[in-house]
Structure 1
């Protein structure tokens, strides 16, 4: 039986919001079934993020024959500009409607629309180049709108599920575990499916239809389990559009955003250049089979590694755990740049290292994000969950788009990658291969270290959970 919530300080119509009094006993102790069921929806988010990042640029250049810089631009513009508008609109709307339309309802909307958006992005008719570019631009704009409807409210809800910072880390551990499932399905299973279906246009369209069905199912499951998640008992007003500049004053949140910019650009570069790296730098005739195996290893380690990193954070704190994982991730990427000709078992070991380190910094940064959202609600009296999550989502999508389309597309073009030769099966020049190696390993590796430096200097240290328990 819970006691009634404590009164909340009145919030004036103008000026700074008054601090809030915490609302009665802390909410925590969700059942593991609820955590797991809600976490399943992350599979859809991962598939929506990975499918265009890993496959679309490669599909447009090597199967449909578009120039990499033109294809990258056609993806980048709607992903960044329209994606940002959709994310911010959904985020602020979900804050304003939180009392009348629960955030979980957005997952159901996304579940209905996801299959159509996924299929349209790959079912591109054979037309002249200009018409194909227009199709990609339009279909991908719709894709980003659908992505926003579920990704932003989903991330926002994590901050309201519990008031225990350590339990938020556990929740993000579940979420990241299902990220591994998404990687397994999207980055491992789909390339194998495409290979089995012959690798042509029909194979990609069929794979998109399968991904869309999986996204729909997992979003509906997440929506169903979200009914057991209690809504916050505090009363907080949504952040008004005119008040957006106040976000800049939240230094901890802004530092997290800066690190996310660097990390997501690096992630986009890695995703988009992965298929090129295995095909041309590693010279694998069975490239998509090996991509499936490498991605399976990464996904398995991501799923198994989440509990490990939660335990590390309990002992070292979230910030130190992030630093350890990010620095390790950069080191593994740089090592791979010097070991392109490794036998496949060596590549498998490096893939496991990437998966382990990715899990560490991924869980920690999202746990720190949830802490920042909860802190804004408890100390400023404002529900910024949707807005903060929208900004975060914009950074993720824009960063991945920038890295995975403009950066990779232009590196390939500048280094002499020949799309016509790729379509005809003719080998690439050594300069083009060097550009691919630089894009997949060196650039992302340096970026990981830069993100670690940002967190080191700008994020305050937190107490490990064990220390808190000893003090208590």
Structure 2
């Protein structure tokens, strides 16, 4: 159904909550490779970190970018024939198969295993694009009110916490309980795929009767998609997002290593689950507080508080090492608090930019905006979570063969893990905060400065 987008905050709370529930699946697909896959391929399968990182990075960047571009352009061009929300059903069908295939690495020669990972993860990225790009784009189409879009982002970010609990807390615990072998990881992947499908069908059903704007002008192409980067408000957000996602990818990929080697824990997956559960609960609880902070401080300043708080937390945590476990738990809660802030505000500014561009041009290019944003997120996480994290480990002399046999790592390798987990991500987050501070108006609301 098409027509006028809901005006002045007319979406029901139930609609906001259930559509945003789709972000659970989005978060699961985002986090599984970032938190579990590199650790699984190196410490369980036994592939050296540099090779495993490259096997993930290549499909995530190349196939991911092509898929996001394609879905963004096709979904924009075919709004009258195939409603954007219907792409969520496509993703719901493919998600379980893609998730299981990624972790179903055969017992074979390393070259065969690497080839399998590249093919399976390419299918994973195509599946991810089929729902992640339309899901994000549709947020700007179901409401024309800037404050309501901030509330929508708060719901979306709250469900991010639920996704963290399920994908990065419950499933790692389940894998540990099942023996932490290959079969356990495949079982965990099957559960993740099923939850993703449920979340996407729920989101589709929540908005299937919501009216949206479908402009008559649809002259969209690859050139038109790339032209969205000439829209300065969007370009500023993309630059900051690039730095933030590389930071998030590097930190998350190093987390299991940090718990195992720097904290000296033999129950790394259990502790990973506890830490992510703490962060996830905090994210769900504090999202409304960041909506209020954006009203009082302005979106830019609220973003800066969140980003710089995250930086300080990472620096403290990465230097705590094998200190008291309660320090680690407090740091995890602080990560949830500050991540909720900058993440929510960044997405709110993004939907503002989409709506501003639609108002100025008369064209709905939300799919193109979402495609580029998704590419930046996935490429940034891939760069940080595979190439940068694995390169830092390799430079520090991390020995995957020793890890598979349970042999201790060198002091240099442990120090490299500390850099990958805290120091490098903190530096990148400072760059992102600087970009927002310099380029976004202090009281930016519905529109960003040109």
**TM-score, normalized by the shorter chain, greater than 0.5:** yes
Q: Deviation of residue 360 (structure 1)?
A: 0.2
- Which residue does the alignment assign to 1:397? 378
When normalised by structure 2's length, the TM-score is 0.96
- Which residue does the alignment assign to 1:459? 440
- Which residue does the alignment assign to 1:130? 111
- Which residue does the alignment assign to 1:192? 173
Decide whether the 8 Å contact of 2:218 with 2:363 is kept in 1. yes
Is residue 76 of structure 1 aligned with residue 76 of structure 2?
A: no
- Which residue does the alignment assign to 1:225? 206
- Moved beyond 3 Å, runs of 4+: 23-27, 233-236
Which of 191, 196, 199 is the aligned partner of 1:210?
191
Q: Deviation of residue 464 (structure 1)?
A: 6.6
Cα RMSD, aligned residues only: 1.6
Q: Deviation of residue 24 (structure 1)?
A: 9.9
Decide whether the 8 Å contact of 2:46 with 2:404 is kept in 1. yes
- Which residue does the alignment assign to 1:237? 218
Is residue 352 of structure 1 aligned with residue 352 of structure 2?
A: no
Deviations 1:61-82 (A, max 9, x none): 1111101000100010000001
Q: Which 10-residue stretch deviates more, 237-246 or 116-125?
A: 237-246
Q: How does 1:321-470 map to 2 (within 5 A)?
A: 321-462=302-443
Decide whether the 8 Å contact of 1:91 with 1:386 is kept in 2. yes
When normalised by structure 1's length, the TM-score is 0.92
For residues 120 and 464 of structure 1, do their structure 2 counterparts lie closer, same or farther at Cα, with a shift above 3 Å needed?
Answer: closer
- Which residue does the alignment assign to 1:278? 259
Is residue 303 of structure 1 aligned with residue 284 of structure 2?
A: yes
Q: Distance in 1 between matches of 2:382 and 2:163?
A: 19
Q: Deviation of residue 238 (structure 1)?
A: 4.8
Count of residue pairs the alignment pairs up: 445
Q: How does 1:136-147 map to 2 (within 5 A)?
A: 136-147=117-128
Is residue 105 of structure 1 aligned with residue 81 of structure 2?
A: no
User: Structure 2, unaligned stretches of length 5 or more?
Assistant: none
User: Structure 1, unaligned stretches of length 5 or more?
Assistant: 6-22, 466-472
Larger Rg: 1
For residues 463 and 90 of structure 1, do their structure 2 counterparts lie closer, same or farther at Cα, with a shift above 3 Å needed?
Answer: closer
Secondary structure of the residue aligned to 1:409 is: helix
Q: Deviation of residue 458 (structure 1)?
A: 1.4
For residues 236 and 321 of structure 1, do their structure 2 counterparts lie closer, same or farther at Cα, with a shift above 3 Å needed?
Answer: farther
Is residue 43 of structure 1 aligned with residue 24 of structure 2?
A: yes
Deviations 1:336-392 (A, max 9, x none): 122113211111101000000000000000000000001111011221100010000
Which of 139, 143, 159 is the aligned partner of 1:158?
139
